[in-house]
Structure 1
Amino acid sequence: MLRLGPAPDRDLRLGTPGGRPDPGPPGRGRLHRPGAGGPTIRRHPPADPDVAARPARRIHPAAPGRDLPARLLLLDPCRGLAAMAAQIRGLADTVGARHVRIVDMGGDILAHGDEETLCSPLVDALAVAACTLAGVDATVYVAGPGTDGEIPLHVLLDRLAGARHLTPTARDADTAGTALAWHPSEASALFAAAVHGARGTVRTVERLIPLTDASARVYELGLDEALARNTVARHLLDACPDTLDEAADLAARLTGIHELDRERRPSSDPARPPVASPGPHATAQETMALIRERAPEATHATYRFAARALGLDWHHIPALRTLLKADSPLLTLR
């Protein structure tokens, strides 16, 4: 996600959406204008206005655009690195932005590529490489280091040594509260919970993640510093791939992780199946007991993990929160 300044009323959020059944982000070629039942995406020129995602893609960018205090736009990486850089440069010129802020949740934007728990290095590497190629003045912010579970916290803190940091307030985290009520972003939920003071061990869909004081911080680096730490970004900049597939192939050769191929494969559910699903008339106490049984070693759990452990999918998270009368970013288990 990128944030362009200079003024609050001229801020932008840029993201690259993903989803099935087609691997990777939809790109301009798989979007159409409203009228066929899809949600509207607000865009700023030079991108096409009022573009809608096809319903089969299950992309709902209008909802975060509605819930976040900024304009939301989508970058299209499908036409390669140079085209992505041109989009960033064009958007910055259009709104008169003097600075680009690249915001990464968790810290995998600093990946070397050989981390055992790394799972999604491509998008962050594309953002760093594209901003470098665009020649824009940019800063990289790592929010909630370690909360995405891709690079261990102690490793990230070594790479962030000497970087300036700040700790947002609970009020800051609450600005995303509406989106977190329905969107299953585990890393964002861990960061928000840490800002609110939660500490301990969180059970996510993939693994256990510690919450510490560092989990509540935002670290600031220069674009050149981030580029120096990101192996995939440097190679992307050298190769300047013409398509997203070429970029994914290059990242796979460096890291062993091919994100598009992974999306082409049937999904698997890492959460353990429940011993017994809660019945249609299960109480909040019975439901919580089943979640605690699935995460005996954790002090907290994400709603996404809780839903999967109960045999549900992420669309049921709002109903689960209502049943449990839960309004915090994470479920407290202990």
Structure 2
Amino acid sequence: MTRLIVAAGGGGDAVAAAMLDTALHGDDPALHGEKAERAGPAVILTYAWDRLLVDPVAGPRAPSDFTGLRELASGVLAVPATAAPVPPAGSTLPRLAAELPHTFVLIDASRGVEGVTAGIRDLVAHLAPESIDLLDVGGDILARGDEPTLQSPLADALTLAACSRIDAPVRLLVAGPGLDGEIPVDDLRPRLGERVLTFGPAQVAAADRVLEWHPSEAAAMLAATARGERGVCEVRGSGLQVPLSDGSPGVHEADLGAALHRNELARALLTSASLDEAERHSREICGYSEIDYERERSAAALRAESTAFELDRDAVLEGLDRFESAARARGVTHTSFRRITEVLGVPGSARLALRDLLIEARPEQYAAPLWRLRRPA
């Protein structure tokens, strides 16, 4: 019996999809009872869209950006562990496939919603899945499109529109409401339905090794809150502050039809036939295309990736002390390694080395997979 999970925005949503599948259907008797029926891992349909920290090329990757993809059926391409992105592009999907038991199938956004819909239909016809879930971490899939805090609506809008067009029931799930920092939890709460589950330590343990290296801040906060971390986490960009609350490790069902009716961008994309057309709608409705932002920064990202960089331990720790002091004054209790990378001016290629340095120097502050700020003396 096969299950299909569509990772609405790619990246961390794909990791969360694996966590969700383990929590709901894993073969650990501690999670489901001794007599629970055991099922194989789900198939996860996802973008290869890792943003500039991993992939210095703007936008989502198409099949032509990979070597070694595996054809499951006509129009259905899986990303196995042996696949590789064509330089200078980057992708976390081959490593995810190597470290998780799930099958990762590539969403091709190059033909807009028409293409995404065709891909889902082909996959459903091939798998005949017993269930289809559309999963979003954070909840920006429930946005209208004009919210000033919204940053990355395009991927979610494409998958929402496509899933609304297939002739099969799709359950829309939101994990970690508010953890993407795009829609405030108070605004999301009326749009959320029944809580399906609450992640706990045992249910996120399967992704522990992945979250040691994967750059998704939302998935990291989801796992950390499942382990009991609470407070305020400062994340990417301008220092966005995300509450880590008792509701953060929850997974809620939401009404897919209502989400489509609310999401003006998703409705506009319903008949889009190219990514360029989808971007035009995003600029008209949201006032921007997130891929334009990536294009503006991609040249700098490529230069940073090609420049040799060495970490100076003393300088790193001094810079961290200054950041922690200022962040504590802002009420921050946690941060991500991605945020530390930004504030210390460390290129993305050195992020894992920076993480290892900090954990070795101050292991008591590691709140896997986040960083806990030191309390003032």
- Do the structures match in fold with TM over 0.5? yes
CA distance in 2, matches of 1:62, 1:327: 27
- The answer to whether the aligner puts 1:195 opposite 2:226 as a matched pair is yes
CA distance in 1, matches of 2:85, 2:171: 30
CA distance in 1, matches of 2:89, 2:181: 26
Q: Match for residue 173 of structure 2?
A: 141
CA distance in 1, matches of 2:224, 2:56: 32
Q: Match for residue 247 of structure 1?
A: 278
Q: Match for residue 289 of structure 1?
A: 321
Given the alignment, which residue of 330, 334, 350 partners 1:316? 350
Percent identity at matched positions? 35
Mark the CA change 1:179 to 1:279 in structure 2 (over 3 Å): closer, same or farther.
Answer: closer
Cα deviation 1:197-223 (Å, max 9, x = unaligned)? 111111111311111111111111242
Given the alignment, which residue of 211, 216, 221 partners 2:254? 221
Given the alignment, which residue of 188, 203, 209 partners 2:242? 209
Q: Match for residue 372 of structure 2?
A: 332
How many residues of Structure 1 are paired with residues of Structure 2 in the alignment? 317
Mark the CA change 1:12 to 1:280 in structure 2 (over 3 Å): closer, same or farther.
Answer: same
CA distance in 2, matches of 1:128, 1:43: 24
Cα deviation 1:209-241 (Å, max 9, x = unaligned)? 11111111111124223223322112222xx01
Given the alignment, which residue of 40, 43, 48 partners 1:12? 43
Q: Match for residue 99 of structure 1?
A: 131
- The answer to whether the aligner puts 1:230 opposite 2:263 as a matched pair is yes
CA contact (8 A) 2:41 2:101 kept: no
- The answer to whether the aligner puts 1:260 opposite 2:291 as a matched pair is yes
TM normalised by structure 2 equals 0.76
CA distance in 1, matches of 2:368, 2:206: 13
Give SS of 1:56's match.
coil
- The answer to whether the aligner puts 1:26 opposite 2:67 as a matched pair is no
Structure 1 gap ranges (5+): 35-40, 270-277
CA contact (8 A) 1:184 1:314 kept: no
Q: Match for residue 68 of structure 1?
A: 100
Structure 2 gap ranges (5+): 1-6, 9-16, 26-37, 302-309, 360-365
Mark the CA change 1:61 to 1:211 in structure 2 (over 3 Å): closer, same or farther.
Answer: same
AA partner of residue 372 (structure 2): T
CA distance in 1, matches of 2:267, 2:177: 22
**Which 4+ residue blocks in structure 1 deviate beyond 6 angstroms?**
3-7
TM normalised by structure 1 equals 0.85
Q: Deviation of residue 59 (structure 1)?
A: 2.0
CA distance in 2, matches of 1:91, 1:299: 43
AA partner of residue 44 (structure 1): L
Give SS of 2:164's match.
helix
Give SS of 1:14's match.
strand
AA partner of residue 316 (structure 1): A
Q: Deviation of residue 282 (structure 1)?
A: 2.4
> Higher helix fraction: Structure 1 or Structure 2?
2
